[in-house]
Chain A
Amino acid sequence: MSWASEGERAAFLACALAGLFEGARSIAIGANSPIPAMAALLAKARHPETKLIVQGSAEHNFFTGGGAEQFDFVAQGRLDAFVLGGAQIDGQGNVNLVAAGDYARPRTRFPGSFGAAFVYYMIPRVILFSIEHSPRVLVPRVDFISAPGAGPPGLHRPGGPTHLLTGKALFAFDREHAAFHLESVHPGSTVDQIIAETGFAFEHPDHVETTPGPSRRDRELLRGKIGAELSAIYPDFMSRAYGTGADT
């Protein structure tokens, strides 16, 4: 759909992500992730006891042990939820952050896997997130597996993907069958459009729900305290999304 503004889209997607965080006691957000950060701050506004780790935020960082500590925290099972993006995501939930085309001489080289080849296995609730919903990102088969969506059999794997949220739809992931099914479609898109714009096959019920948008309370929070906090972390994004941004 064509959103009224980038800010409208950000608020909608942040609310959808915040819904997927429901029940998580601890949430981590990586670098360069303004909408997931917005969602995590919203989740904390709803449930103040939630522990947040937001990269780039001075307030929402409690580690003192250097760069390795956050991964130890994950390995100890202390982190419930995380948001992961992908340059390519396929129907088995495999994620590619490395290269399109041949690995030895790629058509496009992406930055790299970051922590994905660890956190995707270890965090119980990983939400895949891609604003772009196109056959370019949602491919039949990724060119490089930074981290597999499921398995392999026999591996100690407490974590993995639970959902895929895009700019157009929400999918749930079935770990046993390593497959997505369509859970809801955002306002303005139809199931047929989603099928056409998704490079992999997925199941969907006869009647597909519409993804709910932000409540009045959500909007107040996003405009107020959360907006101010986010402006301190992502000034460029916030001024793009909301014009002036908040004064901080």
Chain B
Amino acid sequence: MSGAAIASDVDALAARIPDGALIGLPTNSSGVAMAATRALIRRGARDLRLVALPTTGLQADMLIGAGCVRSIEMAAVSLGEHGFAPRFRDAAENARIEIRDATCPALHSGMIAGEKGVPFLPIRGIIGSDILRHRPDWTVIDNPFAEDGGDPIVLVPAIRPDIALFHAPLADKRGNVWVGTRRELMTMAHASETTLVTVEVIVDDDLLADEKMAPGTLPHVYVSAVAAAPGGARPLGLPGRYPVDDDHVRAYAELAQTAEGFQAYLEDCVLRPIEAP
């Protein structure tokens, strides 16, 4: 036995994500598994609970629009320069999904607590905000080490996703996955029960045997399955490989303003697979 399973394709990978799963998602520029997301929508996933590390955009918007999502925890859902995420906005304004507003470093801290196997981490700031008021699962204590007492500080509980799902430039045949400087992906994988990864390419060489690659490599022991999906982050970008397809995202942002337009987008770009490169 050695390493992670190599899944035959993104649909086989997405089939490993059960309804109701708590899924950790990377931020827009860190390698979003968009091909696997389309596969999740095709398989009709339901009641997913999303947790973004720490923000999300097109991925969550599409899952929400397709009715796959019960709840989302995030610091923001945004299409960046293409504006608000329209299906998220519609679902929020009509109270159709549960939203747990957070702030970026609180999500990093929660995920790092999950990685370390500790129940919580303390974090500065946040006190006096309405974010805290709407987060009964966060708590405030006085710093136990403060010499003069006082010094209130927020504690955020550990985040332990059922599934970490992301797209990376490459993996090797054992399932070692290279993420480079995107170390929050390693943290997310460490904190998660199951890690599913799509990659541009699966190489023969052992990434851990290469001293230059090893520090940026997530070892296979954390990885449950890998699937090759060239262009698997499109229409989002993959740093160092390809840029965001701005025309595509702009067109999505307009179409998804209405439920009908979003449905048309799904039929064109998701339900009929466009996964061929």
Q: Chain A residues in contact with chain B, CB under 8 A?
A: 31-32, 63-69, 71, 75, 97-99, 103-122, 144-148, 151-152, 154-156, 234, 236-237
Contact present for A145 and B181 (CB under 8 Å): no
**Known contacts A66-B181, A115-B75, A147-B129, A110 near B84 by CB under 8 Å:** yes
- What would 15 more interface pairs be, CB under 8 Å, given A109-B88, A156-B151? A63-B181, A66-B185, A67-B182, A67-B183, A68-B112, A103-B130, A106-B92, A109-B92, A111-B55, A112-B74, A112-B76, A114-B76, A119-B125, A147-B128, A151-B128
Are the CB atoms of B81 and A236 closer together than 8 Å? yes
Please tell me if B131 contacts chain A, counting CB pairs below 8 Å: yes
Q: Report the separation of the CA atoms of residues A110 and B37 in the bound assembly, to the nearest whole angstrom.
A: 23
Q: Of the candidates A66, A115, A156, which one forms a contact with B187 in the assembled complex, judged by CB atoms under 8 Å apart?
A: A66
Known: A98-B130, A109-B89, A112-B78. A118 touches B106 (CB 8 A): yes
Whether B93 pairs with A108 at a CB distance below 8 angstroms is yes
Contact with A along B146-182 (1 / 0, CB 8 A): 0000111100000000000000000000000000011
Chain B 4-31 interface 0/1 with A at a Cβ cutoff of 8 Å (1 = within): 0000000000000000000000010010
Report A-chain residues with C-beta under 8 Å of the C-beta of B81.
32, 234, 236-237
- Check B93 against A156 for contact (C-beta < 8 Å): no
User: Is the pair A111, B182 in contact by a Cβ cutoff of 8 Å?
Assistant: no
A104 with B186, Cβ < 8 A, contacts A98-B130, A115-B104 known: no
Interface residue B51 (Cβ < 8 Å from any Cβ of A): no
Across the interface, which residues of A come within 8 angstroms of B30, CB to CB? 67
Given known A-B contacts A66-B183, A66-B185, A67-B184, A107 and B93 have beta carbons under 8 A apart: yes
Give Cα A71–Cα B94 distance, bound, in whole angstroms: 33
Contact A155 B88 (CB under 8 A): no
| Residues B179-207 near A (CB distance < 8 A) | 181-187
Asked if B274 is an interface residue, CB under 8 A from chain A, the answer is: no
Main secondary structure of the interface of A (DSSP, over half): loop
Q: B89: nearest residue on chain A (CB-CB)?
A: A109
Which residue of B27, B84, B124, B187 contacts A121 across the interface (Cβ within 8 Å)?
Answer: B124
Interface footprint category on B = 35 or more
Residues of A within 8 A of B130 (CB): 98, 103, 144-146
> Which chain B residues border A65 with CB–CB below 8 Å?
181, 183
**B residues near A31, Cβ cutoff 8 Å:** 80
Interchain CB contact (< 8 A) of B184 among A66, A119, A155? A66
With contacts A66-B182, A68-B184, A112-B75 taken as known, whether A148 is within 8 angstroms of B134 at the C-beta atoms is no
B residues near A105, Cβ cutoff 8 Å: 93-95
Residue B103 at the A interface, CB < 8 A?
yes
Say if the beta carbon of B253 comes within 8 Å of chain A.
no
Q: Of all chain A residues, which has the CB nearest B76?
A: A112
Q: What are 9 A-B residue pairs whose CB atoms fall within 8 Å in the complex?
A: A64-B181, A67-B108, A69-B183, A108-B93, A109-B92, A112-B78, A117-B129, A118-B104, A156-B151
Residue B127, interface by CB 8 Å: yes
- Smallest Cβ-Cβ distance to A235: which chain B residue: B246
Cβ distance B245 to chain A, nearest Cβ, rounded Å: 14
Whether A118 contacts B125 in the complex (CB less than 8 A), given A63-B181, A67-B108, A111-B85, comes out as yes
Q: Within the assembled complex, what's the spacing in Å between the Cα atoms of A104 and B246?
A: 32
- Tell me, rounded to whole Å, the shortest Cβ–Cβ distance linking A237 to chain B: 8
- For A121, the chain B residues whose CB sits under 8 A away are 124-126
A156–B126 alpha-carbon span in the complex (Å): 11
Q: 1/0 per position for B63-105, CB-CB distance to A under 8 A?
A: 0000000000011111011001100110011110000011111
Complex-state Cα separation, A118 to B102, whole angstroms = 10
Tell me, rounded to whole Å, the shortest Cβ–Cβ distance linking B53 to chain A. 7
Given the known inter-chain contacts A67-B108, A112-B76, please indicate yes or no for A146 contacting B84, CB distance below 8 A.
Answer: no
B219 at interface, CB cutoff 8 A: no
Interface flag for B214 (CB, 8 Å) = no
- In the complex, the answer to whether B184 meets A118 with C-beta atoms within 8 Å is no
- Do A118 and B124 touch (CB < 8 A)? yes
